[in-house]
Structure 1
Amino acid sequence: MAAAAAVRSKRRLLPHLYRLLHSTAAPSLDRFLRHASPVPRAADHSPFLRLPAARVSTLPTGLRVVTQSYPAATRMASVGVWVDAGSRFELPGTNGTAHFLEHMAFKGTERRPTANALEVEIEDMGARLNAYTSREQTTFFADVQGRDVPAALDVLSDILQHPRFPQQGIQRERGVILREMEEVQGMMEEVIFDHLHTAAFRDHPLGDTILGPTENIKSISKKDLQQYISTHYTCPRMVVSASGAVDHDEVVDQVRKLFTGFSTDPTTADQLVEANPAIFTGSEVRVENAEMPLAHIAIAFKGSSWTDPSSIPLMVTQSILGSWNRSIGVGNCSGSALARGISNGGLAENLMAFNTNYRDTGLFGIYTSAPPDALHDLSRLMMEEFRRLAFRVSETEVARARNQLKSSILLHFDGSTAVSENNGRQMLTYGRVMPFLELFARIDAVDCDTVMETAKEFIIDKDVALAAVGPISNLPELSWFRSQTVSDDTFTSRVLSLFSQNN
């Protein structure tokens, strides 16, 4: 039965693969060349990107301040503290501390003894105070009117330097985080990517979840919180970023006066990462649940670090793979060959290519959700598309991908919050703010040869990490996925041979 099903699967899929891989005419893609030359060139984007340059100052303590001011009718500003510390820097047995600390920072200080006092002060300014924790960074930021930037800096410096960590507040926050964990368990994309990190980085903190396991949430103590903040919230690992209606010199003066209680320990995040590098393990996590209507799957290769020269070619490659959702439609008209194949074959409900960067490694791959009876065909199509990237990429689709990538970047920067976040993150990852003109010039330099070379480096003969949840009995074994990446310069003829045998 299984063999017969596999034969029927090939018969349905191979004609499409043949057309996809060997079609010489691509009228549906030619329209993208109306807006970009197929030949890489140094395009002049300056008329569209006339933003004031970011200014950076480094205080004697090692704390860096970056600002980017620009005129805005609303006179709003965003200011925040970006810390080079996240869940990957936690001690063994304390996973979840960085996220717990983020919650507790808003529970009162010596000058603002209660969470209510802090909330009233923020609301009276008409401001918004928020924070988030990732695997490598923690961020605390405020969106305020330009005139209230000094007050926002005072609040941020206070909650990070003088948190009270009241025992009653710690106990209350345990329940809040446990409820948050329950909510996350209902968000399949979050669940899949946590499983994917476990599969990709087993027995390493980068493979742990950000929230931590239940037993840790129930046991994290005031001492754990104090130790984490004193160890990792150091001046050389912190950046104050402000954008919008701000004045650089004024912000620097305020930071110099307010941020005086942090350690000046010169140890950098790079040194900590070098001492405990993340090793891509290429394993799998499968959670069978036959009652779920769809199978959720993520397939990933080891990606690049933030500063790896391949990081931008991988961004363009991610754009080539694209994203798609059945509810939105336009599958047949998509610039993504993979999206068109999935849409034509009715193989999945959605598709999202991803390219996640860390200090020393990354994850590059595809996330999708699909009905269980389509998993074999879907897996074959995705792996063939991965392989195609290394051998047969047209300049047409690369031009489309460059356009789409640049547009998505510009669309993201729709306010002072996004600009402040971008500058703070880039100061931590690059040590500087990369101007748009430089970033776009790097993107425009990526041609089809660069994409194919990058795909050969990151995909061909490389290990695969797999995470899958749901009715996944029809999903091929990990060894099958790995076998689809083997070096074979005649893979096209192999597809043609199989096509001939079945017709």
Structure 2
Amino acid sequence: MLSAATTRLTSASARPLARMFATQTAASLAGPETRMTTLPNGLRVCTENNGSETASVGVWIDTGSRYETEETNGVAHFLEHVSFKGTHKRTGPSLELEIENMGGHLNAYTAREQTAFYARVFKKNVPQVMELLSDLLLNSKYEDRHIESERSVIQRELESIEADKIEYLNDLLHSAAYQCHPLGMTILGSSENINSISREDIQNYVKNNYTASRMVVVGAGGVDHDELVKISADVFAGLPDVVDTKPALVKPRIIGSEIRVRNDEMPYTYVGLAHEGVSHTSPDYFPMMIAQSILGSWDRNIAGGANVSSRLARRFAVDELVSSFAAFNICYQDTGLFGLQMVTDNKLRLDDLLYSAQYEMVRLCLDITPEEVERAKKQYLTSVMNGLDSNSLIAEDIGRSVLSFGRRLPPAELVARVSSVTVQDVRNACMERIYNRDPVLVGIGAIEGLPEYNRVERATAWLRY
């Protein structure tokens, strides 16, 4: 009776605590407005001017390895490399020198659904670097000699990713989950594709995917919105404005399966466990983010262990089951992956490791407490806000948000949405995706003791008699 009364009291007290936290946070987050203008050709220009002396500007593009075929897999990443080798106006060395003379930094990345080219410069150099970025995107030469020289560079990058077992684990989780679908392909492509991608492949990819309606120009820091709109209209005037180049996406079907890569000589064993997650626009987006925070992360080299808030981390630490672990919640336009990445040198207790991991994942569906949810909400909001403490991170957030949601969520709205998530919201979201659902399992290393798939599948539900 005392226990029940205590639970009711704690649950009731958690609600005003959440409201207080949301109010205080929203008040403290009043800051620069994110403005967006759409040009006649469909190009969107988004800015956040905080008055600083530096600026981060770039172009985020709604394309990536998902828009490749099995034959051209890797072309988006290859394009990123050769774009910096020279345009019709600039050679590769002169491009680098121009950026260095500004005191700036130029970079790019390719993901499964998004690509970005961006720069950090002094605010006075924004017009110059915008012209440079447009030159890269519209006028790169993609010369055969540069394509040939980059093959060995990308091959070495592929080898380094395969040597990074966490990256390799992530790629294998995608391969197992998204079989016969572009999301299951790697971003770099296979070694065979790297050796066969041609200038024609790159030009066709640019023609089909680098169009105005799929691009967002972003500026953060000392950036005047109206000025950036004017500059973008000028330097991107030659950008194709075709609005129907984006192919209709086929939603993948998550397949319960496993991949095992056994190597008994490896000092550590890497285990990945995943279920179907949610898309960027799913109503369960924030509940699943909170679920990820509840599971948490932990590393043996960092203080904490038995005293951290994550119950899974405490189980792993006390029983010495892992060296490190991290929950993940990867979201795409129409699907996602939710799960755990675990690293251990205790290869004789892989059975216990998976039991503990699945116990806590199933508990998300049935038995999480209001206190856990409130704590996870605060931890999630803190991590998001900490990720917005520089112009580069703000620009990244704007670009990814506009491509994913169509707009950037103001911090106050983000706080309100997260604060409104309830215990039942998290339970329902996890019940739909985890409870009695076929998992994806990947093991790398000394995995002789890893339970067979049928046992792992059965552990996704608790049987009550």
With the shorter chain as reference, the TM-score category is: over 0.9
User: Where does residue 121 of structure 2 map in the other structure?
Assistant: 144
Q: How does 1:34-183 map to 2 (within 5 A)?
A: 37=17, 43-72=23-52, 75-112=53-90, 114-183=91-160
Q: In 2, are the aligned partners of 1:40 and 1:447 still within 8 Å (CA)?
A: no
Q: In 2, are the aligned partners of 1:140 and 1:156 still within 8 Å (CA)?
A: yes
Q: In 1, are the aligned partners of 2:51 and 2:223 still within 8 Å (CA)?
A: no
Unaligned 5+ runs, structure 1: 1-22, 494-503
Q: 1:34 Cα shift?
A: 9.5
Q: Select the residue among 213, 217, 230 that pairs with 1:236.
A: 213
Output the CA distance in 2 between the equivalents of 1:256 and 1:282.
48
Q: 1:43 Cα shift?
A: 3.0
Q: 1:454 Cα shift?
A: 1.4
Matched, 1:204 2:178: no
Q: In 2, are the aligned partners of 1:376 and 1:476 still within 8 Å (CA)?
A: yes
User: Where does residue 251 of structure 2 map in the other structure?
Assistant: 277
Output the CA distance in 1 between the equivalents of 2:277 and 2:36.
30
User: Cα 1:224–1:26, aligned 2, differ >3 Å: closer, same or farther?
Assistant: farther
Cα deviations by residue, 1:307-365 (Å, 9 ceiling, x for unpaired): 00001100000000000000103011111000000001000100100000000100000
Normalised to the residue count of structure 1, the TM-score between the two structures is 0.88
Moved over 4 A (4+): 23-27, 33-36, 38-42
What is the number of equivalent residue pairs in this alignment? 458
User: Where does residue 404 of structure 1 map in the other structure?
Assistant: 379
Q: Secondary structure at the match of 1:446?
A: coil
Q: Select the residue among 281, 286, 289 that pairs with 1:315.
A: 289
User: Where does residue 402 of structure 2 map in the other structure?
Assistant: 427
User: Cα 1:452–1:327, aligned 2, differ >3 Å: closer, same or farther?
Assistant: same
User: Where does residue 3 of structure 1 map in the other structure?
Assistant: none
Output the CA distance in 1 between the equivalents of 2:71 and 2:115.
20
Q: In 2, are the aligned partners of 1:43 and 1:444 still within 8 Å (CA)?
A: no
User: Where does residue 500 of structure 1 map in the other structure?
Assistant: none
Q: How does 1:342-381 map to 2 (within 5 A)?
A: 342-370=316-344, 371-381=346-356
Output the CA distance in 2 between the equivalents of 1:473 and 1:141.
45
Letter paired with 1:460 = Y
Q: Secondary structure at the match of 1:386?
A: helix
User: Cα 1:412–1:404, aligned 2, differ >3 Å: closer, same or farther?
Assistant: same
Matched, 1:304 2:278: yes
Q: In 1, are the aligned partners of 2:61 and 2:216 still within 8 Å (CA)?
A: yes
Q: In 2, are the aligned partners of 1:77 and 1:146 still within 8 Å (CA)?
A: yes
CA RMSD of aligned residues (A): 2.0
Letter paired with 1:61 = N
Unaligned 5+ runs, structure 2: none
Letter paired with 2:64 = G
Sequence identity percentage? 41
Q: How does 1:245-256 map to 2 (within 5 A)?
A: 245-256=222-233
User: Cα 1:452–1:405, aligned 2, differ >3 Å: closer, same or farther?
Assistant: same
Output the CA distance in 1 between the equivalents of 2:39 and 2:362.
49
Matched, 1:472 2:418: no
Q: Secondary structure at the match of 1:366?
A: strand
Letter paired with 1:420 = A
User: Where does residue 298 of structure 2 map in the other structure?
Assistant: 324
Cα deviations by residue, 1:422-469 (Å, 9 ceiling, x for unpaired): 101111111111111111111111121211111111111212111110
Q: Secondary structure at the match of 2:306?
A: coil
